[in-house]
Structure 1
Amino acid sequence: MNSYDVAVIGSGPGGYVAAIRCAQLGMKTAIIEKYSTLGGTCLNVGCIPSKALLDSSHHYEDAIKHFDAHGIEIPGDVKVNIEKMIARKQSVVDQTTSGIDFLMKKNKIDVYEGVGSFKDATHITIDGKDAGEIEAKNTIIATGSKPSSLPFINIDKERIITSTEALKLKEIPKHMIVIGGGVIGLELGQVYRRLGSEVSIVEYMDRIIPTMDAGLSKELNKVFKKAKFKMNVSHKVKSVERVGDEVVVKTDNKKGEEVELRGDYCLVSVGRRPYTDGLNVEAAGVKLTDRGQVETNEHLQTNVSNIYAIGDVVKGAMLAHKASEEGVLVAETIAGQKPHIDYNLIPGVVYTWPEVAAVGKTEEELKAAGIAYKTGQFPMRALGRSRASMDIDGFVKVLADANTDEILGVHMIGARAADMIAEAVVAMEYRASAEDVSRMSHAHPTFTEAIKEAALAATDDIALHI
């Protein structure tokens, strides 16, 4: 029987990063993955493939809508080859997952293919290609999450689908009904709307991206309506039925009136659930919460001292980069170091176009906490860079403490917001004031000038370029 200092169950962005950091710190490490490719949901059927399709569909939309304005004329019709587009997406996934294989070999991490389950607190049984049993002084549970559904929905993976199936459709839907106005539903909805599908968004809450700042939701809603999405907020789904090649979705609106939608595909994107199936945590004595998450303390340690858990399977936002940070934290904790994560500074991103990104507190949270704050906001359309690229939708909003001027939250929607949010994270990590950021030189012309201007507006109540 092989023995290890650390065994990691699950090879997503939390698991594989944890394994690498453990190996870097001198620990003999194994990683167990039930699928034939490493990388988990994110690399195989989540973050990476969805961004590949978002980029491909964005190119197509630019070609049919914007190239003429740039003086680029294309003879004949521009057509979509959906099979080729899906194949390119898969090649991106393959390159990325093979990169994880390389990192495992480079760091001398033993990889086991199969389902890992606890025999007891220090022994793991592997059922699959590399069947057997290993011993581990410490174990990190990084088994991630799976798409959630509603109890009355039968997901047939053909017409009633999850994000996994939506990433490999063989045709462009005529009408895709998307249940859920969160990150996954909006991103994939935008992919197919660009390719020509009619798309209807159905959201139970009174706005899309309901966990983010209300101003971001309002602006993104405006952009989606302009793109002729059918937006149905405050709608409660009652039933989803497949009739031949048609899907019928019945909802109640906020007035209690029944609204029926008919389409050829229905994407169910109502969130994700922690995945512990087959893990047999009971054999190790590990406790789960009533929500199915692995229960941990502030060190991500379970009630069994040598077993830790990270990522989507524990509490907190289900984000790949949050899982990676937790993987590093646990590895360093096992090594006797004293790492720390500030969860308030984990950014959230929606990769629609315009992109949406945020870090820190929302206005709603600051009001609820009774914290006096001031606001600075700057529209993207006031930037020379935005006008040059025709990306004029959106804004940057900076929230700062009314007394100390410390930045408490930054919320943005616009071109390259996913990249720009890192500036806000750095500023808040070092507890910068809005004035600090407003006095930093930003290259011109760039999208990030909007951050400087919004910080200036929060400091002096007036920006330079509006």
Structure 2
Amino acid sequence: MSESSNNQFEVAIIGGGPGGYVAAIRCAQLGLKTALVEKRKTLGGTCLNVGCIPSKALLHTSEQFVFAAHHAAEAGVEIDGQVSLNLETVMKKKDKVVQQLTGGVDMLVKKRGITRFDGHGKLLGDGKIAIDDKEEITAKNIILATGSSVVDLPFLPQDGETIVSSDQAIAFDSVPENLVVIGAGAIGLELGSVWARYGSKVTVVEFLPKVAAGYDDDVSKLLERSFKKQGLSIHTNTKVTGTKEIDGKLNVVAEKKGKELTFPADKVLVAVGRKPYTENLGLDSVGITPTDRGFIEIDDHFKTSADGIFAIGDIVRGPMLAHKAEEEGVAIAEMIAGKAGHVNYDVIPNVIYTEPEVAGVGITEAQAKDKGIAVKVGKFPLTGNGRAIASDATDGMVKIIACAETDKILGGQIVAKGASEMISEIVTHMEYGGSAEDLGRTVHAHPTISEAIKEAGLAVDKAAIHSL
């Protein structure tokens, strides 16, 4: 391994995903000589390459397909001939989106003068990093941003062909006749929705009592009803135990209330979560010991137990979300540069990009009850919203949770077409400590689905205008 003055940096970041590349750009903006180490050929991590972005491209095109094939005529749009799916073109479109965005990140990194190293980064101690055991760099400050990987089921190992993760489920070369999805979280529901729209018979199996477990029961129940109307078969309180062959066909075996259930499967998507990725990172060489769940412990300034080494994103506490990692990337860069970096973890939104979408921020009503916090709740259904009715998008609601004593907004949940965009309004009000009344008195354009947020804010004090 070789080292020169060109390989000495003020900051070196291992991992080029949303947390890592954002940290690198912010470091460079602040005048720090910065290195970025990434083992993929392209930057952007899981999110841009095989996660957030390609899945959203598939969600978009599948929504268009469903409209054209099943809803256009009732909307007065007549399409001559049969609507058919060209999956090869769909995948090319998805890949083009990914290439555009990963290429854009690469250009941003180059324009900022960040030195990029291709290869697997490994800590050696004393501020040194080996890259594929061929090259060595040194940095005064090292940021670990290596992200996460999919969780496997010991009794159902993934083979990448039949038993797959989301990495393969965004790239099927044909539409599976039967798709079994294990896990009713964001990944399972989103990709299950995609393939159901394209014609798969999709069965979602969830161990927990409800889908979208991070949301309140009324929100989850509304979502489940909507998914079932779209043709997804959903089994909650159901434990997958393995697979077996029946009449020459693979079946997923599960147990519910002591009874065995079997689901035929051409493909099985395992979507039971993600785990921190720190494989061969050299943590032992610097005295860092991950927790039992694999996370790296940090203090409130992202410092690990090793001097000069920081960690952000999916490998540390908090939700495994790209935007959370981005905010941490900015914050740690500013801290290293001597500025007051900060992340407000109370206002990080979470979204499931199905149709309808579901988005939430802050605490739920159930969490408030568990914590003994007295709250007032305001709800508004989209059945009372003019734009939703005009857009055939009445499956949904907005829910605001406010402190019973101060009226401060503690949380909000939205089920709606475009909920991912709408949630930012609640986040913004919470960021400055706004009240439900502030939300209810904010002027909204009419007609918009976002008016439901205003009405829910008013409903906290039983003052909603368009609700009985």
TM superposition score normalised by structure 1: 0.97
**What whole-Å deviation, never above 9, does each CA across 1:36-73 have from its counterpart, x for those lacking one?**
11110000000000000000000001112221122110
Partner amino acid, structure 2, of 1:35: R
- Tell me, what secondary structure is at the counterpart of 1:178? strand
Q: Which position in structure 2 is the counterpart of 1:383?
A: 385
* 1:305, distance to aligned residue in structure 2 (A): 2.5
- The secondary structure found in structure 2 opposite 1:37 is coil
In structure 2, the residue corresponding to 1:14 is in which secondary structure? helix
The match for 2:320 among 318, 321, 324 is: 318
Once residues 466 and 40 of structure 2 are traced to their aligned partners in structure 1, the CA distance between those partners, rounded to angstroms, is: 54
CA distance in 2, matches of 1:376, 1:452: 10
Deviation at 1:459, TM superposition (A): 2.3
Partner of 2:146: 143
The 5-angstrom pairing of residues 244-393 of structure 1 reads 246-253=249-256, 255-393=257-395
Give the match's secondary structure for 2:143.
strand
- In structure 2, the residue matched to 1:61 is 66
Distance in 2 of aligned mates of 1:412 and 1:79: 33
Aligned length: 463
Once the two structures are TM-superposed, the CA of residue 344 in structure 1 deviates from its matched residue by 1.4
Return the alpha-carbon distance in structure 1 between the equivalents of residues 423 and 368 of structure 2.
20
Aligned to 1:357, the other structure's residue is in SS state strand
Alignment of 1:180-191 (within 5 A): 180-191=183-194
Distance in 2 between residues matched to 1:349 and 1:244, nearest whole Å: 40
SS in 2 for 1:453: helix
Maintained 8 Å contact 2:26/2:333: yes
User: Any stretches of 5+ residues in structure 2 without a counterpart?
Assistant: none
3-state SS of paired residue (1:31): strand
What is the rounded CA distance, in whole Å, between the counterparts of 2:49 and 2:91 in structure 1? 13
For 1:216 and 1:246, locate their aligned partners in 2 and report how far apart those are by CA, in whole Å.
36
1:424 to 426, 434, 451: 426
How far has the Cα of 1:245 moved from its partner?
A: 8.5
Change (3 A) 1:69 1:190: same
Q: Contact between 2:34 and 2:115, CA under 8 Å: does it hold in 1?
A: yes
Q: How does 1:26-175 map to 2 (within 5 A)?
A: 26-127=31-132, 131-175=134-178
Q: What's the offset of the Cα at 1:240?
A: 3.0
Report the CA distance between 1:403 and its aligned residue: 1.2
State the alpha-carbon separation in 1 of the partners of residues 265 and 452 from structure 2: 40
Q: Which amino acid aligns with 1:283?
A: S
Alpha carbons 2:397, 2:414 under 8 Å: kept: yes
The alignment yields a C-alpha RMSD, in angstroms, of 1.3
**TM norm structure 2:** 0.97
For 1:195, give the aligned amino acid.
Y
- CA displacement 1:205-264 (0-9 Å, x = unmatched): 0101112222221111000111121111101111135789943211110x1111111111
**What CA distance in whole angstroms lies between the structure 1 residues aligned with 2:445 and 2:298?**
44
Residues 384, 466 of structure 2: 8 Å contact kept: no
Which of 237, 240, 251 in structure 1 is aligned with 2:240? Answer: 237
1:254-276 Cα shifts (integer Å, max 9, x gaps): x1111111111100000001000
* CA displacement, residues 315-350 of structure 1 (integer Å, 9 cap, x when unaligned): 111000000001111111111112221211000000
For 1:136 and 1:372, locate their aligned partners in 2 and report how far apart those are by CA, in whole Å.
49
**What is the SS of the residue equivalent to 1:460?**
coil
| Structure 2 partner of 1:178 | 181
Query: Against the structure 1 CA distance between its residues 241 and 301, is the aligned structure 2 distance closer, same or farther, given a 3 Å change threshold?
Result: farther
Instruction: Give, in whole Å, the separation in 1 of the partners of 2:205 and 2:358.
Output: 20
Question: Unmatched 5+ residue regions in structure 1?
Answer: none
Change (3 A) 1:32 1:237: same
> Does the residue aligned with 2:99 lie in a helix, a strand or coil?
helix
- State the distance in 2 between where 1:176 and 1:351 align: 19
Describe the SS at the equivalent of 2:268: strand
Kindly state the Cα deviation for residue 135 of structure 1 after the two structures are TM-superposed: 0.4
Equivalent residue letter for 1:231: I
Structure 1 segment 404-415 matched on structure 2, within 5 A = 404-415=406-417
1:394 to 393, 396, 410: 396
Q: Which residue of 1 aligns with 2:195?
A: 192
What letter corresponds to residue 181 of structure 2 in structure 1? V
